[in-house]
Amino acid sequence: MPEVFFEQKAFLDIFTKFLDSIREPLLLLDPDLKVVKANLSFYMTFCVKPENTEGVLIYDLGNRQWNIPKLKELLEEILPQNTVFNNFEVEHDFEIIGTKVMRLNARRIYKDTKHTQLILLAIEDVTEQEYYKRHLEKIVKNRTAQLATAKQEAEQGKHAAETALCEIKALKEQLEAERAYLKEEIKLEHNHENIIGNSDGLKYVLYKVEQIADSNTTVLVLGETGTGKELVARSIHGFSKRKNRSLVKVNCAALPPNLIESELFGHEKGAFTSSNRLQLGRFEIADGATLFLDEIGELPLELQSKLLRVFQDGEFERVGSSKTIKVDARIIAATNRNLEEEVEKGRFRKDLWYRLNVFPITMPPLRERVTDIPLLVDYYVQKISRRLGKTVDLVPQNVMSTIQNYHWPGNVRELENVLERAVINSSGPKLHLVDDLDKSYKHLSKNQKTLKALERDYILDVLEQTNWKVSGANSAAQILGLNRSTLRARMRKLNIVKP
Protein backbone atom coordinates (compact mmCIF):
# COMPACT_ATOMS: atom_id res chain seq x y z
CA MET A 1 0.00 0.00 0.00
CA PRO A 2 1.62 3.29 -1.08
CA GLU A 3 2.24 5.79 1.71
CA VAL A 4 0.08 8.89 1.69
CA PHE A 5 1.31 12.26 2.90
CA PHE A 6 -1.24 14.78 4.09
CA GLU A 7 -2.29 16.66 7.20
CA GLN A 8 -4.07 14.78 10.05
CA LYS A 9 -7.22 16.93 9.95
CA ALA A 10 -7.70 16.41 6.23
CA PHE A 11 -7.25 12.67 6.65
CA LEU A 12 -9.77 12.55 9.51
CA ASP A 13 -12.30 14.41 7.39
CA ILE A 14 -11.89 11.84 4.64
CA PHE A 15 -12.08 9.00 7.22
CA THR A 16 -15.34 10.35 8.66
CA LYS A 17 -16.95 10.89 5.24
CA PHE A 18 -15.96 7.70 3.44
CA LEU A 19 -14.66 4.95 5.70
CA ASP A 20 -17.79 4.64 7.86
CA SER A 21 -19.31 2.75 4.92
CA ILE A 22 -16.57 0.08 4.98
CA ARG A 23 -17.72 -3.23 6.47
CA GLU A 24 -14.44 -4.07 8.19
CA PRO A 25 -13.65 -2.35 11.51
CA LEU A 26 -11.02 0.38 11.06
CA LEU A 27 -8.99 2.21 13.70
CA LEU A 28 -6.59 5.19 13.56
CA LEU A 29 -3.82 5.42 16.16
CA ASP A 30 -1.39 8.23 16.84
CA PRO A 31 2.35 7.51 17.41
CA ASP A 32 1.60 7.07 21.13
CA LEU A 33 -0.86 4.30 20.20
CA LYS A 34 -3.87 6.33 21.35
CA VAL A 35 -7.09 6.10 19.34
CA VAL A 36 -7.65 9.07 17.06
CA LYS A 37 -10.72 7.84 15.25
CA ALA A 38 -12.65 4.65 14.51
CA ASN A 39 -15.30 3.83 11.94
CA LEU A 40 -18.88 2.79 12.65
CA SER A 41 -18.16 -0.90 12.02
CA PHE A 42 -15.50 -0.86 14.77
CA TYR A 43 -17.93 0.55 17.34
CA MET A 44 -20.62 -1.98 16.42
CA THR A 45 -18.29 -5.01 16.30
CA PHE A 46 -16.65 -4.37 19.66
CA CYS A 47 -19.66 -2.73 21.40
CA VAL A 48 -17.89 0.49 22.37
CA LYS A 49 -18.82 4.17 22.06
CA PRO A 50 -16.75 7.01 20.54
CA GLU A 51 -16.58 8.86 23.88
CA ASN A 52 -15.03 5.77 25.48
CA THR A 53 -12.63 5.18 22.59
CA GLU A 54 -11.10 8.34 21.17
CA GLY A 55 -7.99 9.47 23.05
CA VAL A 56 -7.71 6.13 24.86
CA LEU A 57 -4.58 3.97 24.68
CA ILE A 58 -5.45 0.96 22.55
CA TYR A 59 -4.42 -1.46 25.32
CA ASP A 60 -6.96 0.17 27.68
CA LEU A 61 -10.00 -0.20 25.37
CA GLY A 62 -13.06 -1.98 26.79
CA ASN A 63 -12.05 -4.38 29.50
CA ARG A 64 -8.40 -4.30 28.33
CA GLN A 65 -9.25 -7.03 25.83
CA TRP A 66 -6.69 -5.54 23.43
CA ASN A 67 -3.87 -5.81 25.99
CA ILE A 68 -2.40 -8.99 24.50
CA PRO A 69 1.22 -9.89 23.62
CA LYS A 70 0.58 -10.54 19.92
CA LEU A 71 -0.85 -7.07 19.36
CA LYS A 72 2.10 -5.48 21.20
CA GLU A 73 4.52 -7.41 19.00
CA LEU A 74 2.74 -6.25 15.87
CA LEU A 75 2.71 -2.58 16.88
CA GLU A 76 6.37 -2.74 17.90
CA GLU A 77 7.10 -4.13 14.45
CA ILE A 78 5.15 -1.40 12.67
CA LEU A 79 6.96 1.33 14.69
CA PRO A 80 10.60 0.20 14.87
CA GLN A 81 13.11 2.44 16.60
CA ASN A 82 15.12 4.75 14.30
CA THR A 83 14.08 2.93 11.13
CA VAL A 84 12.20 4.26 8.14
CA PHE A 85 10.60 1.88 5.64
CA ASN A 86 8.90 2.90 2.44
CA ASN A 87 5.64 1.06 1.78
CA PHE A 88 5.69 -0.93 5.10
CA GLU A 89 2.77 -3.21 6.02
CA VAL A 90 2.29 -5.87 8.72
CA GLU A 91 -0.40 -8.57 8.90
CA HIS A 92 -1.00 -10.89 11.84
CA ASP A 93 -3.60 -13.34 13.19
CA PHE A 94 -4.38 -13.09 16.88
CA GLU A 95 -7.14 -13.64 19.44
CA ILE A 96 -9.06 -10.61 20.74
CA ILE A 97 -12.13 -11.90 22.59
CA GLY A 98 -12.35 -15.49 23.84
CA THR A 99 -11.79 -17.81 20.87
CA LYS A 100 -12.59 -15.15 18.26
CA VAL A 101 -9.83 -15.07 15.65
CA MET A 102 -9.19 -11.67 14.09
CA ARG A 103 -6.75 -10.67 11.33
CA LEU A 104 -5.09 -7.31 11.91
CA ASN A 105 -3.51 -5.36 9.05
CA ALA A 106 -1.39 -2.37 10.12
CA ARG A 107 -0.13 0.35 7.76
CA ARG A 108 1.73 3.56 8.37
CA ILE A 109 0.57 6.97 7.27
CA TYR A 110 3.30 9.63 7.24
CA LYS A 111 3.35 13.33 7.82
CA ASP A 112 6.69 13.57 6.03
CA THR A 113 9.29 11.08 4.82
CA LYS A 114 10.84 10.48 8.23
CA HIS A 115 8.12 10.69 10.87
CA THR A 116 5.12 8.46 11.26
CA GLN A 117 1.98 10.49 11.93
CA LEU A 118 -0.75 7.81 12.15
CA ILE A 119 -1.26 4.04 12.06
CA LEU A 120 -4.26 2.55 10.23
CA LEU A 121 -5.49 -0.77 11.63
CA ALA A 122 -7.85 -2.83 9.48
CA ILE A 123 -9.54 -5.70 11.35
CA GLU A 124 -11.13 -8.78 9.80
CA ASP A 125 -13.06 -11.50 11.61
CA VAL A 126 -11.73 -14.85 10.33
CA THR A 127 -13.14 -17.01 13.14
CA GLU A 128 -15.44 -19.01 10.89
CA GLN A 129 -12.78 -19.65 8.23
CA GLU A 130 -10.27 -20.73 10.86
CA TYR A 131 -12.80 -22.95 12.57
CA TYR A 132 -13.74 -24.80 9.37
CA LYS A 133 -10.14 -25.03 8.27
CA ARG A 134 -9.03 -26.57 11.57
CA HIS A 135 -12.18 -28.68 11.84
CA LEU A 136 -11.76 -30.13 8.34
CA GLU A 137 -8.06 -30.76 8.88
CA LYS A 138 -8.88 -32.63 12.07
CA ILE A 139 -11.60 -34.68 10.36
CA VAL A 140 -9.30 -35.59 7.47
CA LYS A 141 -6.49 -36.54 9.84
CA ASN A 142 -8.75 -38.65 12.07
CA ARG A 143 -10.46 -40.30 9.12
CA THR A 144 -7.14 -41.10 7.45
CA ALA A 145 -5.88 -42.70 10.66
CA GLN A 146 -9.10 -44.69 11.01
CA LEU A 147 -8.91 -45.96 7.43
CA ALA A 148 -5.26 -46.94 7.80
CA THR A 149 -6.01 -48.82 11.01
CA ALA A 150 -9.05 -50.54 9.51
CA LYS A 151 -7.07 -51.58 6.44
CA GLN A 152 -4.23 -52.99 8.54
CA GLU A 153 -6.66 -54.91 10.76
CA ALA A 154 -8.52 -56.26 7.71
CA GLU A 155 -5.27 -57.46 6.14
CA GLN A 156 -4.18 -59.17 9.37
CA GLY A 157 -7.41 -61.08 9.88
CA LYS A 158 -10.59 -60.39 7.95
CA HIS A 159 -12.50 -63.22 9.57
CA ALA A 160 -11.56 -62.08 13.10
CA ALA A 161 -12.65 -58.51 12.34
CA GLU A 162 -16.02 -59.63 10.97
CA THR A 163 -16.64 -61.83 14.02
CA ALA A 164 -15.77 -58.97 16.38
CA LEU A 165 -18.06 -56.62 14.42
CA CYS A 166 -20.99 -59.03 14.76
CA GLU A 167 -20.39 -59.31 18.51
CA ILE A 168 -20.22 -55.56 18.91
CA LYS A 169 -23.42 -55.11 16.91
CA ALA A 170 -25.27 -57.65 19.06
CA LEU A 171 -24.04 -56.05 22.27
CA LYS A 172 -24.98 -52.59 21.01
CA GLU A 173 -28.52 -53.70 20.12
CA GLN A 174 -28.90 -55.30 23.55
CA LEU A 175 -27.61 -52.18 25.29
CA GLU A 176 -29.93 -49.92 23.28
CA ALA A 177 -32.93 -52.11 24.14
CA GLU A 178 -32.08 -52.03 27.86
CA ARG A 179 -31.45 -48.30 27.74
CA ALA A 180 -34.80 -47.62 26.03
CA TYR A 181 -36.63 -49.74 28.62
CA LEU A 182 -34.96 -48.06 31.61
CA LYS A 183 -35.46 -44.60 30.09
CA GLU A 184 -39.19 -45.21 29.64
CA GLU A 185 -39.60 -46.59 33.16
CA ILE A 186 -37.70 -43.77 34.86
CA LYS A 187 -39.44 -40.99 32.94
CA LEU A 188 -42.93 -42.37 33.41
CA GLU A 189 -42.41 -42.71 37.14
CA HIS A 190 -40.47 -39.59 38.01
CA ASN A 191 -39.11 -37.12 35.49
CA HIS A 192 -39.98 -37.02 31.80
CA GLU A 193 -37.81 -34.20 30.43
CA ASN A 194 -38.39 -32.33 33.74
CA ILE A 195 -42.09 -33.29 33.86
CA ILE A 196 -42.45 -34.65 37.37
CA GLY A 197 -45.20 -36.97 38.52
CA ASN A 198 -46.80 -40.40 38.25
CA SER A 199 -50.53 -39.62 38.18
CA ASP A 200 -52.75 -41.32 35.60
CA GLY A 201 -53.47 -38.03 33.84
CA LEU A 202 -49.79 -37.20 33.49
CA LYS A 203 -48.90 -40.72 32.35
CA TYR A 204 -51.48 -40.38 29.59
CA VAL A 205 -49.90 -37.08 28.48
CA LEU A 206 -46.48 -38.73 28.38
CA TYR A 207 -47.91 -41.64 26.41
CA LYS A 208 -49.26 -39.21 23.79
CA VAL A 209 -45.90 -37.37 23.74
CA GLU A 210 -44.00 -40.53 22.86
CA GLN A 211 -46.72 -41.55 20.41
CA ILE A 212 -46.37 -38.38 18.30
CA ALA A 213 -42.76 -37.30 18.89
CA ASP A 214 -41.14 -39.26 16.06
CA SER A 215 -43.40 -37.80 13.35
CA ASN A 216 -43.48 -34.29 11.87
CA THR A 217 -47.14 -33.78 12.76
CA THR A 218 -48.21 -30.41 14.14
CA VAL A 219 -49.03 -30.62 17.86
CA LEU A 220 -51.30 -28.31 19.87
CA VAL A 221 -50.62 -28.31 23.62
CA LEU A 222 -53.58 -27.11 25.66
CA GLY A 223 -53.88 -26.35 29.34
CA GLU A 224 -54.26 -23.67 31.96
CA THR A 225 -51.46 -21.22 32.66
CA GLY A 226 -48.62 -22.68 34.68
CA THR A 227 -49.35 -26.34 33.93
CA GLY A 228 -46.08 -26.95 32.07
CA LYS A 229 -47.08 -26.75 28.40
CA GLU A 230 -43.55 -25.75 27.38
CA LEU A 231 -42.18 -28.86 29.11
CA VAL A 232 -44.50 -30.98 26.96
CA ALA A 233 -43.16 -29.22 23.84
CA ARG A 234 -39.57 -29.84 24.95
CA SER A 235 -40.36 -33.51 25.59
CA ILE A 236 -41.81 -33.93 22.10
CA HIS A 237 -38.75 -32.27 20.60
CA GLY A 238 -36.43 -34.36 22.79
CA PHE A 239 -37.90 -37.60 21.45
CA SER A 240 -38.02 -36.47 17.82
CA LYS A 241 -35.54 -36.94 14.98
CA ARG A 242 -34.76 -33.21 15.31
CA LYS A 243 -33.49 -33.50 18.90
CA ASN A 244 -29.90 -32.65 17.89
CA ARG A 245 -31.09 -29.15 16.91
CA SER A 246 -32.39 -26.49 19.27
CA LEU A 247 -36.05 -26.00 20.13
CA VAL A 248 -36.75 -22.48 18.83
CA LYS A 249 -39.33 -20.66 20.96
CA VAL A 250 -41.54 -17.65 20.27
CA ASN A 251 -43.81 -16.22 22.98
CA CYS A 252 -46.60 -14.68 20.89
CA ALA A 253 -48.02 -12.85 23.93
CA ALA A 254 -44.75 -11.13 24.88
CA LEU A 255 -44.17 -9.24 21.62
CA PRO A 256 -45.96 -6.07 20.41
CA PRO A 257 -48.18 -6.74 17.37
CA ASN A 258 -45.95 -4.63 15.10
CA LEU A 259 -42.90 -6.78 15.90
CA ILE A 260 -44.37 -10.30 15.75
CA GLU A 261 -44.22 -10.54 11.94
CA SER A 262 -40.57 -9.46 11.88
CA GLU A 263 -39.78 -11.87 14.72
CA LEU A 264 -41.40 -14.82 12.95
CA PHE A 265 -40.38 -14.15 9.35
CA GLY A 266 -37.39 -11.79 9.65
CA HIS A 267 -36.82 -8.56 7.76
CA GLU A 268 -34.52 -7.09 5.13
CA LYS A 269 -32.16 -4.21 5.76
CA GLY A 270 -34.10 -0.96 5.32
CA ALA A 271 -37.51 -2.67 5.55
CA PHE A 272 -38.51 -0.05 8.14
CA THR A 273 -36.92 2.91 9.91
CA SER A 274 -34.79 1.11 12.50
CA SER A 275 -33.88 -1.93 10.37
CA ASN A 276 -30.20 -1.24 9.71
CA ARG A 277 -29.32 -4.88 9.02
CA LEU A 278 -30.79 -8.14 7.76
CA GLN A 279 -32.49 -10.21 10.48
CA LEU A 280 -33.48 -13.86 10.15
CA GLY A 281 -36.88 -14.83 11.51
CA ARG A 282 -37.59 -17.70 13.86
CA PHE A 283 -38.93 -19.87 11.03
CA GLU A 284 -35.59 -19.65 9.20
CA ILE A 285 -33.67 -20.37 12.40
CA ALA A 286 -35.91 -23.41 13.01
CA ASP A 287 -35.36 -24.85 9.52
CA GLY A 288 -34.71 -28.55 10.10
CA ALA A 289 -35.60 -28.14 13.79
CA THR A 290 -38.73 -27.54 15.91
CA LEU A 291 -40.54 -24.21 16.38
CA PHE A 292 -42.56 -23.74 19.57
CA LEU A 293 -45.26 -21.05 19.27
CA ASP A 294 -46.26 -20.34 22.86
CA GLU A 295 -49.56 -18.52 23.53
CA ILE A 296 -50.57 -18.78 19.86
CA GLY A 297 -54.06 -17.63 20.79
CA GLU A 298 -52.65 -14.11 21.27
CA LEU A 299 -51.65 -13.72 17.59
CA PRO A 300 -53.39 -10.81 15.81
CA LEU A 301 -55.87 -11.82 13.11
CA GLU A 302 -53.94 -10.12 10.29
CA LEU A 303 -50.90 -12.28 11.00
CA GLN A 304 -52.81 -15.55 11.28
CA SER A 305 -53.30 -15.79 7.49
CA LYS A 306 -49.54 -15.53 6.91
CA LEU A 307 -48.93 -18.15 9.57
CA LEU A 308 -51.45 -20.45 7.89
CA ARG A 309 -49.48 -20.27 4.64
CA VAL A 310 -46.30 -21.41 6.39
CA PHE A 311 -48.19 -24.28 8.03
CA GLN A 312 -49.61 -25.40 4.67
CA ASP A 313 -46.70 -24.85 2.26
CA GLY A 314 -43.67 -24.08 4.43
CA GLU A 315 -43.23 -20.79 2.54
CA PHE A 316 -43.06 -17.12 3.54
CA GLU A 317 -41.37 -13.81 2.67
CA ARG A 318 -39.27 -11.64 4.94
CA VAL A 319 -40.66 -8.20 5.76
CA GLY A 320 -39.47 -5.87 2.98
CA SER A 321 -38.76 -8.67 0.48
CA SER A 322 -40.69 -10.42 -2.30
CA LYS A 323 -38.37 -13.45 -2.36
CA THR A 324 -40.12 -16.65 -1.22
CA ILE A 325 -38.25 -18.70 1.38
CA LYS A 326 -39.06 -22.37 1.95
CA VAL A 327 -38.37 -24.03 5.32
CA ASP A 328 -38.91 -27.38 7.02
CA ALA A 329 -39.88 -26.59 10.61
CA ARG A 330 -41.91 -28.89 12.86
CA ILE A 331 -44.60 -26.80 14.61
CA ILE A 332 -45.65 -27.20 18.22
CA ALA A 333 -48.14 -24.59 19.45
CA ALA A 334 -49.54 -23.96 22.92
CA THR A 335 -52.34 -21.90 24.39
CA ASN A 336 -54.35 -21.52 27.58
CA ARG A 337 -57.33 -20.20 25.65
CA ASN A 338 -60.29 -22.15 24.32
CA LEU A 339 -59.60 -21.69 20.61
CA GLU A 340 -63.01 -23.06 19.58
CA GLU A 341 -64.66 -20.24 21.52
CA GLU A 342 -62.18 -17.76 20.03
CA VAL A 343 -63.16 -18.98 16.53
CA GLU A 344 -66.88 -18.50 17.34
CA LYS A 345 -66.17 -14.97 18.60
CA GLY A 346 -64.21 -14.13 15.42
CA ARG A 347 -60.90 -13.67 17.21
CA PHE A 348 -59.19 -16.72 15.69
CA ARG A 349 -59.27 -18.01 12.13
CA LYS A 350 -61.22 -21.24 11.67
CA ASP A 351 -58.85 -22.57 8.97
CA LEU A 352 -55.83 -21.98 11.21
CA TRP A 353 -57.62 -23.71 14.10
CA TYR A 354 -58.23 -26.78 11.89
CA ARG A 355 -54.59 -26.76 10.78
CA LEU A 356 -53.41 -26.60 14.42
CA ASN A 357 -55.83 -29.11 15.88
CA VAL A 358 -54.24 -32.19 14.28
CA PHE A 359 -52.96 -33.80 17.46
CA PRO A 360 -54.04 -31.96 20.64
CA ILE A 361 -52.49 -32.80 24.00
CA THR A 362 -54.10 -31.37 27.13
CA MET A 363 -51.88 -30.85 30.17
CA PRO A 364 -54.04 -31.52 33.25
CA PRO A 365 -54.19 -28.80 35.93
CA LEU A 366 -52.43 -29.41 39.24
CA ARG A 367 -55.70 -29.86 41.12
CA GLU A 368 -56.24 -32.99 39.02
CA ARG A 369 -52.74 -34.27 39.87
CA VAL A 370 -52.95 -34.40 43.64
CA THR A 371 -50.79 -37.55 43.81
CA ASP A 372 -48.00 -35.67 41.97
CA ILE A 373 -47.85 -32.85 44.53
CA PRO A 374 -45.51 -34.61 47.05
CA LEU A 375 -43.02 -35.33 44.21
CA LEU A 376 -43.22 -31.74 42.99
CA VAL A 377 -42.83 -30.34 46.53
CA ASP A 378 -39.75 -32.48 47.15
CA TYR A 379 -38.20 -31.51 43.80
CA TYR A 380 -38.78 -27.76 44.16
CA VAL A 381 -37.81 -27.56 47.85
CA GLN A 382 -34.47 -29.24 47.08
CA LYS A 383 -33.91 -27.09 43.99
CA ILE A 384 -34.74 -23.80 45.76
CA SER A 385 -32.75 -24.74 48.88
CA ARG A 386 -29.61 -25.41 46.80
CA ARG A 387 -30.01 -22.09 45.01
CA LEU A 388 -30.48 -20.17 48.26
CA GLY A 389 -27.71 -22.07 50.09
CA LYS A 390 -30.11 -23.46 52.70
CA THR A 391 -30.88 -26.95 54.00
CA VAL A 392 -34.62 -27.52 54.12
CA ASP A 393 -35.40 -31.22 53.84
CA LEU A 394 -38.39 -31.84 56.10
CA VAL A 395 -41.97 -31.13 55.00
CA PRO A 396 -44.42 -31.60 57.93
CA GLN A 397 -47.51 -33.66 57.22
CA ASN A 398 -49.88 -30.80 58.02
CA VAL A 399 -48.03 -28.57 55.53
CA MET A 400 -48.21 -31.25 52.83
CA SER A 401 -51.92 -31.77 53.50
CA THR A 402 -52.57 -28.02 53.21
CA ILE A 403 -50.69 -27.93 49.92
CA GLN A 404 -52.58 -30.95 48.54
CA ASN A 405 -55.98 -29.55 49.55
CA TYR A 406 -55.42 -26.19 47.85
CA HIS A 407 -57.05 -25.66 44.41
CA TRP A 408 -53.90 -24.10 42.73
CA PRO A 409 -55.37 -21.70 40.17
CA GLY A 410 -51.79 -20.87 39.08
CA ASN A 411 -50.84 -24.56 38.89
CA VAL A 412 -47.17 -25.66 39.05
CA ARG A 413 -45.90 -22.11 38.57
CA GLU A 414 -47.89 -20.93 41.60
CA LEU A 415 -46.70 -23.96 43.60
CA GLU A 416 -43.06 -23.10 42.89
CA ASN A 417 -43.57 -19.48 44.00
CA VAL A 418 -45.31 -20.56 47.22
CA LEU A 419 -42.49 -23.01 48.00
CA GLU A 420 -39.80 -20.39 47.31
CA ARG A 421 -41.42 -18.03 49.83
CA ALA A 422 -41.67 -20.94 52.28
CA VAL A 423 -37.98 -21.88 51.93
CA ILE A 424 -36.92 -18.25 52.37
CA ASN A 425 -39.02 -18.03 55.55
CA SER A 426 -37.72 -21.36 56.98
CA SER A 427 -34.92 -20.92 59.53
CA GLY A 428 -34.23 -24.61 60.06
CA PRO A 429 -34.60 -27.92 58.21
CA LYS A 430 -38.40 -27.88 58.53
CA LEU A 431 -40.42 -26.18 55.77
CA HIS A 432 -42.53 -23.31 57.12
CA LEU A 433 -45.44 -22.27 54.91
CA VAL A 434 -45.91 -18.49 54.64
CA ASP A 435 -49.03 -18.35 52.47
CA ASP A 436 -52.39 -18.98 54.13
CA LEU A 437 -53.67 -21.46 51.54
CA ASP A 438 -56.71 -22.39 53.65
CA LYS A 439 -57.82 -18.75 53.63
CA SER A 440 -57.23 -18.46 49.89
CA TYR A 441 -59.55 -21.41 49.35
CA LYS A 442 -62.54 -19.95 51.25
CA HIS A 443 -63.73 -17.85 48.33
CA LEU A 444 -64.88 -21.05 46.59
CA SER A 445 -68.47 -22.11 47.12
CA LYS A 446 -68.97 -24.95 49.58
CA ASN A 447 -71.70 -26.32 47.30
CA GLN A 448 -69.38 -26.88 44.36
CA LYS A 449 -69.14 -30.44 43.07
CA THR A 450 -66.05 -32.56 43.52
CA LEU A 451 -63.78 -33.19 40.57
CA LYS A 452 -64.93 -36.81 40.51
CA ALA A 453 -68.59 -35.75 40.30
CA LEU A 454 -67.83 -33.24 37.54
CA GLU A 455 -65.94 -35.90 35.58
CA ARG A 456 -68.84 -38.35 35.95
CA ASP A 457 -71.37 -35.75 34.79
CA TYR A 458 -69.24 -34.82 31.79
CA ILE A 459 -68.71 -38.42 30.65
CA LEU A 460 -72.43 -39.14 31.08
CA ASP A 461 -73.29 -36.06 28.99
CA VAL A 462 -70.97 -37.15 26.14
CA LEU A 463 -72.29 -40.74 26.24
CA GLU A 464 -75.87 -39.49 25.99
CA GLN A 465 -74.93 -37.26 23.03
CA THR A 466 -73.43 -40.29 21.22
CA ASN A 467 -76.26 -42.66 22.19
CA TRP A 468 -73.82 -44.57 24.40
CA LYS A 469 -71.41 -45.35 21.55
CA VAL A 470 -68.14 -45.95 23.39
CA SER A 471 -65.69 -46.60 20.53
CA GLY A 472 -65.33 -45.98 16.81
CA ALA A 473 -66.04 -42.90 14.69
CA ASN A 474 -68.01 -40.11 16.39
CA SER A 475 -67.93 -42.07 19.64
CA ALA A 476 -67.58 -40.86 23.22
CA ALA A 477 -63.96 -42.08 23.35
CA GLN A 478 -63.09 -40.05 20.25
CA ILE A 479 -64.76 -36.87 21.57
CA LEU A 480 -63.09 -37.25 24.97
CA GLY A 481 -59.70 -38.00 23.41
CA LEU A 482 -59.39 -41.29 25.31
CA ASN A 483 -58.64 -44.89 24.44
CA ARG A 484 -61.79 -46.98 24.55
CA SER A 485 -60.19 -49.20 27.24
CA THR A 486 -59.36 -46.09 29.29
CA LEU A 487 -62.91 -44.78 28.92
CA ARG A 488 -64.42 -48.13 29.98
CA ALA A 489 -62.10 -48.18 33.03
CA ARG A 490 -63.22 -44.65 33.99
CA MET A 491 -66.87 -45.69 33.55
CA ARG A 492 -66.39 -48.64 35.90
CA LYS A 493 -64.58 -46.48 38.47
CA LEU A 494 -67.29 -43.80 38.35
CA ASN A 495 -70.10 -46.40 38.34
CA ILE A 496 -71.45 -45.26 34.98
CA VAL A 497 -73.88 -47.85 33.59
CA LYS A 498 -76.06 -47.59 30.50
CA PRO A 499 -79.71 -47.30 31.64
Residue 446 inside a domain? The answer is no
Q: Indicate if 322 and 351 belong to the same structural domain.
A: yes
> In the prediction, which pLDDT does 3 show?
44
Comparing 33-42, 239-248, 435-444, which segment has the lowest mean pLDDT?
Answer: 435-444
Say if residue 370 is exposed, middle or buried (CB neighbours under 10 Å; 0-12, 13-18, 19+).
middle
Task: Identify which of 429, 432, 413 has the alpha carbon closest to the alpha carbon of residue 421.
Answer: 432
**Whether pLDDT at 378 is above 80:** yes
Band (363; pLDDT cuts 50, 70, 90): very high
Last residue of a domain, one of 328, 362, 396: 362
Of 18, 54, 26, 20, nearest in space to 123 by CA: 26
* Residue-number span of the structural domain to which 467 is assigned: 451-493
Q: Same domain, yes or no, for 109 and 152?
A: no
Half-sphere exposure of 168 (CA within 13 A, CB side): 6
User: pLDDT: is 217 or 174 the higher one?
Assistant: 217
Asked whether residue 396 falls in the same domain as residue 357, the answer is no
The answer, yes or no, to whether residue 402 has pLDDT greater than 60, is: yes
Q: What gap in Å lies between CA 206 and CA 364, rounded to an integer?
A: 12
| Average pLDDT of the segment spanning 306-316 | 85
pLDDT band at 436 (very low <50, low <70, confident <90, very high): confident
Digit-coded pLDDT (tens) for 202-225: 889 999 999 999 999 999 999 998
Q: Which CATH number belongs to the domain containing residue 471 in this structure?
A: 1.10.10
Higher pLDDT, 190 or 317: 317
Amino acid at the residue 426: S
Query: Among 304, 336, 362, which residue terminates a domain?
Result: 362
> 345 and 458: one domain?
no
Co-location of 220 and 292 in the same domain: yes
pLDDT tier, 175 (very low <50, low <70, confident <90, very high otherwise): low
Query: 57-66, 79-88, 388-397, 414-423: which range is least confident on average?
Result: 79-88
- pLDDT value, residue 192: 46
Most confident of 80-89, 151-160, 468-477: 468-477
> Which residues on neighbouring strands pair with residue 291, listed in sequence order?
248, 331
Same domain, 36 and 167: no
Residues 245 and 320 in one domain: yes
Predicted confidence at residue 182, as pLDDT, reads 46
Domain boundary, last residue among 362, 377, 393: 362
pTM, full prediction: 0.52
The pLDDT, as a whole number, for residue 171 is 61
HEC letters along 165-227: HHHHHHHHHHHHHHHHHHHHHHHHHCEECCEECCCHHHHHHHHHHHHHCCCCCCEEEECCCCC
The whole-number pLDDT of residue 88 equals: 44
What is the structure's pLDDT at 177? Answer: 46
Query: Does the pLDDT of residue 6 top 60, yes or no?
Result: no
**Higher per-residue pLDDT: 446 or 190:** 446
CATH code where residue 406 lies: 1.10.8.60
Name, of 206-210, 297-301, 470-474, the range with top average pLDDT.
206-210
